[in-house]
Amino acid sequence: MSANRRDFIKFVVAGAVTAGCPIDFSLVAQTGDPQKTHAADVDGEDNRTCHQVRDGKVFTRPPASSRHDVVIIGGGVSGLSAAYRLQHRDFLLLEKEPHWGGNAYAMEYEGSRYATGSAFLTKDEYAYRFAKEIGLEPLPVNSPDASILRGELILDTWGEGLDKLPYPPPVRESFKKFKKEMLAIDVEKRGKEFDDKPFSDFLKEYPAELKQWWDNFGPSNWGAASDETAAIMGISSLQEMAQESGGDDRYTWPGGLGAITRKLAEILQPKYTEHMQTGATTVAVVSEKDEVQVTYMLGGELKTVAAKAVIMATPKFITRRIVDGLSDKQSDAMHQIRYIPYPVVNLIFDKPVFNHGYDTWCPGNTFTDFIVADWVIQKHAGYQQKFNIITCYTPMKEDDRSQLLSENGARKVAANVLSDFQKLMPAFNVDPVEVHIYRRGHPLYMSTPGLYRQIQPLVRQPMDRVFFANTDSEGPESTTNEGILAAQRAVKQVEARLAGKPMPKDHAVAG
């Protein structure tokens, strides 16, 4: 694609990059006043407060202006799910962005909905039942994953597609052998063993083409290439894909799992408008004797509220910066969780370009895979496709996060995705009407060895009145389902604390 052609395409850059700026707690003023002061942790497109923290400014917490049963911090799927379960309580839900949904957020282009993050769920996940509970009917994907390799579309990559891989016979046979060996592993019995090993240990004796495929697949799903992936993730994923070949159990909606957060907001907002606040960036969570004080910035002003309990439905790299009184052990555990930058690029075409499958993998490109946004409604009676929206998932390396900090940098990322997409197959060399990039700096945690069984149990240990949700509390993979389960667990812990009952056991509760 020439520069002249690209000049006629509209690029739209959206989404906050930084989920929070580092807080230096040496900046916190220590006074005899019980109303401690805390530096602010603010993110989004307006970084003025972050710069003030960097420059040493200290913010004094004002007195509490209101009191609630529960304050929930974070309005993604975990925070919204917690609010849904706490409708009988006096709750306050705080979200730093101007919209609800977090990483599961759907957007629209002239009535056509597309995803900016979370893509699908499976029928055996609690999120499937939860979606039905709130009035959403999950739509079947029914399309095993394809791949585009050396310019050829290979449908059902890990099923019938293994016989059609555009590689020499020995390489094709190695894919088959690997599949057979992975299917023979009992992950239930050997889960702990394989949680501590890198997935690359299982790829050492195989050709580069196989490792390339998994180094492409891993970052999109769990944030890491095979060298830094817990082996259990790769093995389990291959077993799931093998099952899909016999019947895909994945479900979604146009716009992906943003349909769940949108529905939750639609349920909650009419009844609890005064209990839900967007544009509110929490800067301090401080436990007192009989309550927790939460200070947040809203419209350039600091406010403090008090609560009997707090649910932190925020990523742990933010949580550890704003929650006062964490033990060194728990804070260190939170610090060990790593997150990748993960923009999502949507190519909007006004003509059909690709409708041959739901999710297609593209090793060797600036994006890992692409999804057809309206796949699950294409066969509905009377549906006519107005726009063919291709959602390209574009996980990046940790060191490349700075590329998303400026609009020009984000635009270059999107332009590279478009260029690579148009080179995949001759039929793809078509110009879109618009290219939208939704940039996120830290949305997906990396499923590294030891994280699930060693780190996350420490991360989610409740304090006296502070409880921890968000998908990175639960694992082993960053999914909408885990975010909902984390909320379920935190809500049960809150209810026990408010009732003066023993704390529930440390595991997610889907009831």
pLDDT of 88 strictly over 50:
yes
**Is it the case that residue 70 has pLDDT exceeding 50?**
yes
How far is it between the farthest Cα atoms of the chain?
A: 75
CB 446 within 8 A of CB 224: yes
Taking phi over 0 as left and psi of -120 to 50 as alpha, with beta for the rest, 96 belongs to alpha
482-498: per-residue pLDDT in tens?
Answer: 999 999 999 999 999 99
Consecutive H or E run containing 126: helix 126-133
The answer for residues whose C-beta is within 8 angstroms of residue 138's C-beta and 6 or more apart is 121, 123, 128, 131, 132, 251, 252, 253
Of the candidates 445, 374, 345, which has an alpha carbon nearest to the alpha carbon of residue 117? 345
% helix, strand, coil for the chain, step of 5: 40, 20, 40
Structure tokens at 170: 């020995």
pLDDT of residue 87: 98
Token duo for residue 126: 């609690």
> Are residues 241 and 250 in contact, defined by beta-carbon separation less than 8 angstroms?
no
Identify the H or E element spanning 292. strand 292-298
pLDDT at 43 over 60: no
Domain covering 25-102+259-338+448-499 in this structure, CATH number: 3.50.50.60
Residue among 12, 70, 103 at smallest CA distance from 465:
70
- CATH 1.10.405 residue ranges for the chain: 159-244
Rounded-to-integer distance, Cα 502 and Cα 511, Å: 18
Higher model confidence: residue 29 or residue 268?
Answer: 268
The CATH code of domain 159-244 reads: 1.10.405
* Ranges for all domains in the chain classified under CATH 3.90.660.20: 3-15+104-141+340-445
Residue 6 has a pLDDT of 59
CATH number for domain 3-15+104-141+340-445, candidates 1.10.3720.10, 3.90.660.20, 3.40.50.20, 3.30.830.10: 3.90.660.20
- 415 confidence band (pLDDT: 50, 70, 90): very high
pTM of structure: 0.90
pLDDT at position 58 is 52
- Of all residues in the chain, the percent with pLDDT exceeding 70 is 88
E strand segments, 394-509 = 434-438, 444-445, 466-468
Note whether 232 and 448 are within 8 A (CB): no
Q: Is the Cβ–Cβ distance between 357 and 155 less than 8 Å?
A: yes
